[in-house]
Amino acid sequence: MSEAIDLPVASPGPARLGNRVWTLVAALLGLVLIAGIAIGAPMLGSLGIAPDFSARLAEPSLAHWFGTDPFGHDMLARTVHGLNVSLWVGLVAASISVVIATALAIFAATCGRWADAVVAFLVDTAMGLPHLVLLILISFALGGGTTAVIIAVAVTHWPRLTRILRAEILQLRQADFIIAARRMGRSWGHIGFRHILPHLWPQILVGLVLLFPHAILHEAALTFLGFGLEPSRPAIGVLLADSLRYLMAGKWWLGLFPGLCLLMLVLCFDAIGNGLRLLADPRQGQL
């Protein structure tokens, strides 16, 4: 009898990694398309935004792809302008959250046990409060509007990223170059900004991308509940809130298309964030 030959079994890691890379590329292309259209919305001016009472509540057609609202506004134009607002609000709020998280993580890991205890208390307190309730309270206390929404979202989305960055910094503190810098008399402040911060950029970038969809969704939720952006602005939350009174009358397009566009935008950012997290941690490719 011939001896059995053991053939090598291909590792699923590279194939899975390749699939995730293609998913990342597809998400990037989708995001570029959606964001490009949304960012270019202001260049159109009031095109499609002006009311046309002769076309009130028109169903989707070739003339109005997303239909029209009770005032004859083209829903496609309003949705595009709403995505533009959501993108800018999400970008500013997520960026502020990342700055807060990075500063607190460096402060906690480099300024002694008392600093670590203070940051841990702040993180536990922020994560222990109901998230949406805290958002509503902050936005309401600040009087609502764009600035209030940005502040409310920014000051409530940093705790998880702070924990991740703090854990990464604690590992970096045991690195040889950090120990050498300390023995050369460098302060923790100097080490934090000159040696630790450059090594945190992959985690910071992934954190920013993953915070983006959360910021966009919570902005839309606050606006939908009436504690967010001004009703006069064509934000996605405003469009969804306005559509409620007409959905039972069969005007489904008023809420469907803005909601789908918001969902697509959030899913693209989520896929990009997960893809970047995979590329930033090569060990994930072996899973």
Measured in whole angstroms, the distance separating CA 67 from the mean position of its chain's CA atoms is: 29
Angle (nearest 5°) at CA 9 between 4 and 10? 155
A 10 A CB-CB count for 61 gives 11
Domain annotation for the chain: domains and CATH numbers: 19-49+63-284 (1.10.3720.10)
36-39-42-44 Cα dihedral, nearest 10 degrees:
10
Q: What was the pLDDT predicted at 279?
A: 65
Model-level pTM greater than 0.85? no
Taking residues 278-286, what's their average pLDDT?
55
Query: What pLDDT digit, counting tens, does each position of 177-195 carry?
Result: 778 877 887 776 777 777 7
Residue 68 β-bridge partners: 74
pLDDT at 237 over 50: yes
Q: What was the pLDDT predicted at 42?
A: 61
Q: What was the pLDDT predicted at 17?
A: 54
Residue ranges in the chain assigned as alpha helix (H): 12-39, 75-110, 113-128, 131-141, 146-154, 159-172, 176-183, 188-191, 197-199, 201-225, 236-247, 253-280
In order of 107, 138, 239, the CA distances from 233 in angstroms are 39, 20, 9
Q: What was the pLDDT predicted at 6?
A: 43
